[in-house]
Amino acid sequence: MRISDLGEFELIKRFRKKIRLNSSVVEGSGDDCAVLKFNKDSYQLFTCDMIVEGVDFYKTDNFSLVGGKALAISISDIAACGGVPKHAVVALGLPKNMQVNQVDLLAKGLFEMAKRFDINIVGGDISASHKLVIDVSVLGEVGKNELCLRRGAKTGDIIMVTGEFGGSIKGKHLKFIPRLKEARFLVGNFKINSMIDVSDGLVQDLGHILEQSSAGAVLYESLIPLSKQAKNSQEALCSGEEFELLFTASRDQASKIIKNTKYRFKVIGEIMPASFGLRLINYKNRYARLKLKGYRHF
């Protein structure tokens, strides 16, 4: 059997079955970050992300933007858990014929993103590679009362998002700013039951929350915020690399979130019992079942 026959998420589950953890781990594989014991008030967050030439970017792209993206993806993971990024290490796989000025641009983007979010780049590694590969690991911190995971969604929760969806491949995937300020605002002022960053598609990433929360959901097609680059709502539901936040909160908390004047958060649906499954109320006010479509590596 080939990896393509198994699929990305089944491959991850295959690895997870073999992982053994000790008591220092609060939350292991399966969320946006690993959660580790740290001190009496806080947890440590640990995440890593790899981007590969030809998959996540192309050699014709602006390498400064590529460098920024490499770090921003992990910052987005930290944000999805309600935390603050602190330290990073960067591993580079570099083609031997790559121009030094391209590497300089890559570093420029990395360092500018690190400075913007007050992150210390404390080391890394370099190796020869047939294609450019950038692997970033980030450590962060989160207050124990502010931690958000995927598994906390409850029936009756309102589903909300930041930003707009669709057409990310037309430029946003290289230029997005992680929603760290919005995440910190949410966990610092409201009770957020679950949260995830949308990297593989709105429907697919909502599916991760539903699976881990043993819940269902209904989305309203008319409420999905579309970007100017979006072809239609169907693309917006499945488009990857948006890096917006998707979160759930009780009706009472959602009402307060909507009334805030600092950030704009948009309602797109409601958490339902698991037996309901995942459905969309379309523009004709009819129910349609949704498949968990989105970006998958295999």
Q: What is the DSSP string of 67-123?
A: HHHHHHHHHHHHHHTT-EEEEEEEEEEE-TT--HHHHHHHHHHHHHHHHHTT-EEEE
Q: What secondary structure does DSSP assign to 179-221, as a single string?
A: -HHHHHHHHHHS---EEEEESS-HHHHHHHHHHHHTEEEEEEG
The answer to whether residue 282 sits within a structural domain is yes
Q: Give the span between the Cα atoms of 178 and 159, in whole angstroms.
A: 19
Question: Which pLDDT belongs to residue 182?
Answer: 98
The total number of residues shown for the chain amounts to 298
Query: What's the domain count of the chain?
Result: 2
SS3 content of the chain, % helix, strand, coil (to 5): 35, 30, 35
Are both 157 and 57 inside the same structural domain? no
Block means of pLDDT (10 residues each) for the chain, 298 residues, are 74 77 93 97 98 95 98 98 98 97 98 98 97 98 98 98 95 96 98 97 96 97 96 91 97 97 97 96 86 53
Are both 177 and 99 inside the same structural domain? no
Question: Which pLDDT belongs to residue 21?
Answer: 87
The H-or-E segment that residue 136 falls in is strand 133-143
Tokens describing residue 121: 């780049």
Are both 87 and 126 inside the same structural domain? yes
Question: Which pLDDT belongs to residue 293?
Answer: 57
Are both 165 and 99 inside the same structural domain? no
Domain that holds residue 263: 150-289
Question: Which pLDDT belongs to residue 298?
Answer: 41
Bridge partners, residue 288, by sequence: 280
The H-or-E segment that residue 63 falls in is helix 63-80
Q: What are the backbone dihedrals phi and psi of residue 155, each rounded to the nearest 5 degrees, phi first? A: -55, 130
Task: Provide the 10 A C-beta neighbour count for residue 138.
Answer: 27
The answer to whether residue 297 sits within a structural domain is no
The answer to whether residue 49 sits within a structural domain is yes
pTM: 0.94
Q: Give the span between the Cα atoms of 204 and 206, in whole angstroms.
A: 5
Are both 138 and 161 inside the same structural domain? no
Are both 53 and 77 inside the same structural domain? yes
Are both 63 and 188 inside the same structural domain? no
Question: Which pLDDT belongs to residue 219?
Answer: 97
Task: Indicate which CATH number applies to the domain containing 93.
Answer: 3.30.1330.10
Question: Which pLDDT belongs to residue 16?
Answer: 74
Question: Which pLDDT belongs to residue 7?
Answer: 72
The answer to whether residue 298 sits within a structural domain is no
The answer to whether residue 179 sits within a structural domain is yes
Are both 242 and 166 inside the same structural domain? yes
Are both 15 and 120 inside the same structural domain? yes
The answer to whether residue 231 sits within a structural domain is yes
Contact 251, 156 (CB under 8 A): yes
Q: Give the span between the Cα atoms of 155 and 159, in whole angstroms.
A: 11
